């Protein structure tokens, strides 16, 4: 079930940092760029102290987006909405370990909807909690900032966590991907990938740049 096609890192720009008044323009820019996925940050104001966007935005963009939607659910009890995110066009649905009453059941539900399933852990959550679920997921999303806002500083301890998950995956001979989210830009993407990341999310680094396309290109060119 490995869905990474080459040795280059997958780059998944987060549209959270886009200017929503010009969302179509930013989507077209990402379509033309070397970005691999679109990272979609959904926040409920309960799991995280912020509210982002939900189904109406996804339905409006799904027909113009030409790449997989990598949906990151920062919401409590995400199992309630898995089907609707599938219907809204998600290719990957990632839920938080901390937000699920029954994680295995939620992952199975995502798979039964025909979507790739990811599990995410917050910066303060140890990687050991992943051991049991690892064989069942397609992706592990390691948060390298406290979820809720774009534009925060990368937490350096995340590098160690990437290495730990990488080791768990190779020890068990598994095929799931490691994605890292928060505070990643041209200054640190190389060490994140060297630590073992297969995919990186970038919000502020892409959208606050004068040339977002060249930041994306440079992030892939390692
Ligand atoms: C944080 C989100 C991230 C964030 C990434 O809650 O999950 O995806 O928007 O943005 P940057 O790259 O600006 O940290
Ligand atoms: Zn995210």
Cβ contact 13:30 at 8 Å: yes
Residues of the chain with pLDDT below 70 are 1-7
* The predicted structure's pLDDT at residue 3: 60
pTM of this structure:
0.96
The closest residue, in CA terms, to atom 9 on ligand 1 is 150
| pLDDT on residue 5 | 52
- Residue of 149, 205, 216 to test ligand 1 pocket, by largest number of atoms within 8 Å of CB: 149
Q: Tell me, yes or no, if 102 is annotated catalytic.
A: no
Q: Catalytic site residue 70?
A: no
Task: Please write the tens of the pLDDT for every residue from 197-210.
Answer: 999 999 999 999 99
**3-class SS shares of the chain: helix, strand, coil, % to 5:** 40, 20, 40
pLDDT at res. 204: 98
Q: Nearest-5° angle of CA 30, CA 31, CA 35?
A: 55
Q: Pocket around ligand 1: residues whose beta carbon is below 6 Å from it? A: 14, 16-17, 39, 41, 72, 145, 147-152, 181-184, 201-205
């Amino acid at each position: 079930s490995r869905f990474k096609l080459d040795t280059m890192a997958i780059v998944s720009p987060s549209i959270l940092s886009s200017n929503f008044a010009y969302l179509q323009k930013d989507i077209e820019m990402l379509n033309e760029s070397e970005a691999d996925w679109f990272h979609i940050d959904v926040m409920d104001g309960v799991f995280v102290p912020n509210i982002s966007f939900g189904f109406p935005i996804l339905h409006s963009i799904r027909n113009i987006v030409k790449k997989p939607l990598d949906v990151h659910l920062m919401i409590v009890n995400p199992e309630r909405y898995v089907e609707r995110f599938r219907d809204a066009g998600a290719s990957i649905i990632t839920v938080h370990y901390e937000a699920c009453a029954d994680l295995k059941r939620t992952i199975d539900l995502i798979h039964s909807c025909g979507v790739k399933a990811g599990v995410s852990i917050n910066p303060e959550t140890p990687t050991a909690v992943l051991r049991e679920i690892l064989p069942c997921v397609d992706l592990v999303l390691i948060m390298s900032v406290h979820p809720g806002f774009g534009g925060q500083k990368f937490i350096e301890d995340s590098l160690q966590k990437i290495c730990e998950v990488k080791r768990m995956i190779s020890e068990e001979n598994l095929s799931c991907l490691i994605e890292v989210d928060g505070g990643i830009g041209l200054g640190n993407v190389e060490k994140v990938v060297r630590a073992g990341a297969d995919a990186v999310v970038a919000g502020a680094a892409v959208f606050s740049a004068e040339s977002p396309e060249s930041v994306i290109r440079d992030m892939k060119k390692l």
